[in-house]
Amino acid sequence: MQYKLSKRSQIIKGQSEIRAMTLACTARGGINLSQGVCDTETPIPVLAGAKEAIDRGDNNYTRLDGIDELRIAVAQKEKAYKGIDVDPHNEVVITNGATGALYNAVMTLLDPGDEVVVFEPYYGYHVATFLTAGININYVRMEAPDWDFKKEDVINSITDKTKAIMINTPSNPCGKVFSEEELLFLGEIAEKNSLYIFSDEIYEYFVYDGLQHISPASLKSLKERTIIIGGFSKTFSVTGWRVGYVIAPSEITPLLGQFNDLVYICPPAPLQHGVTVGLNTLGKQHYSKLRDDHFELREIFCSTLLKVGMTPYIPNGAYYVLSDISSLPGENCKDKVMRFLDKTGVAGVPGYSFYHDNSGDNLVRFCFAKEKHIIEEACNRIEMAFKK
């Protein structure tokens, strides 16, 4: 039988590179630095909180905006960490991961034919979420090594159909941490053109080099147009739990909640309790340890890349590094990354996965959120292979 697939399913097909590299890596018994799965152990209070919730019988649907305790804990965190006043009862919706949060925001605020500004290199799910919803994307290039962008590129990317600017700070895949000056500039543009700012802050605690994570919602009057997208996958190493949140003006949140309800009903109830316990009991040292541990991993891994001539663009945040593969043998980007996997046993993601054109062809992305001994082993393998 001939299956006639939707146009949007053709868009999704292109997003499978990371999973494909994972399969290729497994087949070769390699070290998988392609997928953004954090190896750090889940904090015990988070696990205990979820187990206790199951045993207590908290196993049913929750409210469509999530449990009170978690919304309150999220609002407290936003105030303490970013200085943002958030009303937990009207401005927070607990969602199925940051992924669900963006999806709900797109469904609530955008229509097919609308346009969104996306900085590239980008996170593929952002782009796929927009494209499958019929939203057109105007790309603004961030250039290595500092991943700066030109103000005029942003200005020129706005048309009368543009409805939002998507930012990801700290960013996957390049680790850019947007500065206050950049955010104020984007805020000015957003205000002038009545745009929303979608701000994916899932890596909010992974910031290095003395920089600070800043949310646009904490600046001037930008909170009223900022949709914060966040989650616990990275902070508590629970990528499979699917608990995140969206923070938005109270006029919007009821509908955001209804879209979450429509697709998922709610994030798993006991897991909402688990992350609540984490937020309420883990002290500052949990977050500073996350930062310090990943900083150390960054240093170890990037020094190996440098040694073998694959210039790393040192990330200021998140836990990925884009590295230059122009000196590697191979016919094209995919071929180079596959040969690198064959030669070293270490898998990365071909750079074109993060660009809408061929600008990423000389790049590979590695994820360094692994246990230290795994990163050391990966470094060892790379250095040995390049010695031969």
Residues that bind ligand PLP (CB under 6 A): 36, 97-99, 123, 168, 172, 200, 202, 231, 233, 239, 244
Report the residue number whose CB is nearest to ligand PLP. Answer: 97
C-beta atoms surrounding 221 within 10 Å? 8
| Dist CA 199 CA 188 (whole Å) | 15
* Minimum separation from the CB atom of position 360 to ligand PLP (A): 16
Whose Cβ is closer to ligand PLP: residue 62's or residue 168's?
168
Name the nearest CA neighbour of 169 among 114, 219, 129. Answer: 219
* Minimum separation from the CB atom of position 104 to ligand PLP (A): 12
Q: What is the token pair recorded at 138? A: 């105007």
* Minimum separation from the CB atom of position 96 to ligand PLP (A): 7
Element (H, E) at 76: helix 68-77
Whose Cβ is closer to ligand PLP: residue 140's or residue 382's?
140
| Dist CA 229 CA 242 (whole Å) | 13
Whose Cβ is closer to ligand PLP: residue 201's or residue 328's?
201
* Minimum separation from the CB atom of position 372 to ligand PLP (A): 21
| Dist CA 200 CA 308 (whole Å) | 33
Task: Please list the residues that pair with 228 across neighbouring strands.
Answer: 199, 247
Whose Cβ is closer to ligand PLP: residue 233's or residue 353's?
233
* Minimum separation from the CB atom of position 18 to ligand PLP (A): 9
Amino acid at 142: M
Instruction: Look up residue 348 and give its DSSP letter.
Output: -
* Minimum separation from the CB atom of position 257 to ligand PLP (A): 17
Whose Cβ is closer to ligand PLP: residue 172's or residue 344's?
172
Distances (CA, A) of 322 to 92, 200, 325, 352, 353: 33, 19, 9, 11, 12
Whose Cβ is closer to ligand PLP: residue 88's or residue 244's?
244
Q: What is the token pair recorded at 218? A: 């904490």
Strand ranges for 194-333 from DSSP E? 196-200, 226-231, 244-247, 312-313, 320-324
Name the nearest CA neighbour of 128 among 285, 280, 18, 259. Answer: 18
* Minimum separation from the CB atom of position 206 to ligand PLP (A): 10
Whose Cβ is closer to ligand PLP: residue 96's or residue 344's?
96
